[in-house]
Amino acid sequence: MLAEHMTWVEYQEAVKKIVILPLGAFEQHGPHLPLNVDVVIPSRLAECAAEQLEGMVLPAINYGYKSQPTSGGGPLFPGTTSLDGETLIHLILDILRDTYRHGGRKFLLLNGHYENMAFATEAVDLFLREAKDARLVILAWWDIVSEKLVKEIWAEAGFPGWDTEHASIAETSLMLYFTPEHVRVDKIVDDQSERTPPYAIFPPPADIVPKSGVLYKATYASQAKGEMLAKEITESIVRIVRQELA
């Protein structure tokens, strides 16, 4: 499933099926999660889905668009290393173009970093000017979590909306499920900014970003919740791909 482990001989067949490109980032995720959370989650979900879809997973975009203060802590947190919008657009576009040249026609861009969405959309729009017969889906994993599961997982803590779920219950749970060895369980905290304005302020004032980089109650995370999320999201991805790219 992982294109990076294939030889070119294997790749040439695999590319004709479903091609999944995980879109990640290199971004702070609190004192307990590694900087590659946004790469790990979509990559592992992509693997799970690819297994059922007989799809192929391309190497992930491992640096993404600039983290914003109220959805990820913002650019000033140490570690958060981001691309200019134009760079990310062309990075995704070039990968799509070359994969198309090799025969790829059906693409899932599986996003793990909110701020990537608009630039991935632009890359796809530019790609379609050339690749008239390609079909693509861009999907952020949190956008397809069912209301039912949200109620279940955030039953105790209360659901704050996906924006402020950064480095909190969903991401911590998924990391506990996918790579528990990289979660510093003793460092997990609940935190929040003093306020979350519904607009963007530049440069960001201190009170809109929590000191820890955790935007909500990460202590409510668990491996079991991670498993529930991973399984439901995988099923949904498989269903969506079959429906939209069949």
Residues of span 54-113 touching a second copy by CB under 8 A: 58-60, 62-63, 65-66, 68, 75, 77-87, 89-91, 93-95, 98-99, 101-103
- The yes-or-no answer on residue 102 being catalytic is no
Contact positions with a second copy (CB under 8 A) in 206-225: 213
Bridge partner residues of 107 (DSSP): 19, 136
- The yes-or-no answer on residue 38 being catalytic is yes
Contact positions with a second copy (CB under 8 A) in 21-50: 26, 28-36, 39
Amino acid at 37: V
Cα 171 from Cα 119, distance rounded (Å): 22
Q: Nearer to a second copy by C-beta: 54 or 146? A: 146
Helix (H, G, I), strand (E, B) or coil at 210: coil
CB of 97 to a second copy, least distance (A): 9
Q: Choose, from 32, 113, 165, 191, the residue flagged as catalytic.
A: 113
Bridge partner residues of 61 (DSSP): 23
Q: Nearer to a second copy by C-beta: 135 or 224? A: 135
Q: Nearer to a second copy by C-beta: 129 or 156? A: 129
- Nearest 10 degrees: Cα torsion 22, 143, 149, 50: -30
Tokens of 177: 């499920």
Q: Nearer to a second copy by C-beta: 201 or 224? A: 201
Tokens of 49: 């889905």
* Residue 242 within binding range of a second copy, rule CB under 8 A: no
Give the number of residues in contact with a second copy, rule: CB under 8 A: 85
Q: Are 240 and 185 in contact (CB under 8 A)?
A: no
- The yes-or-no answer on residue 115 being catalytic is yes
Q: Are 117 and 144 in contact (CB under 8 A)?
A: no
- The yes-or-no answer on residue 235 being catalytic is no
Tokens of 8: 């070119």
CB of 63 to a second copy, least distance (A): 6
- The yes-or-no answer on residue 29 being catalytic is yes
Contact positions with a second copy (CB under 8 A) in 117-176: 117-119, 121-122, 124-126, 128, 134-140, 143-144
* Residue 197 within binding range of a second copy, rule CB under 8 A: yes
- Give one DSSP letter per residue of 161-192, joined into a string: -SGGGTTSHHHHHHHHHH-GGG--GGG--B--
CB of 225 to a second copy, least distance (A): 20
Q: Choose, from 29, 32, 165, 191, the residue flagged as catalytic.
A: 29
Q: Nearer to a second copy by C-beta: 39 or 230? A: 39
Q: Are 14 and 85 in contact (CB under 8 A)?
A: no
Q: Are 60 and 39 in contact (CB under 8 A)?
A: yes
Q: List the catalytic residues.
A: 27, 29, 38, 113, 115, 166, 171
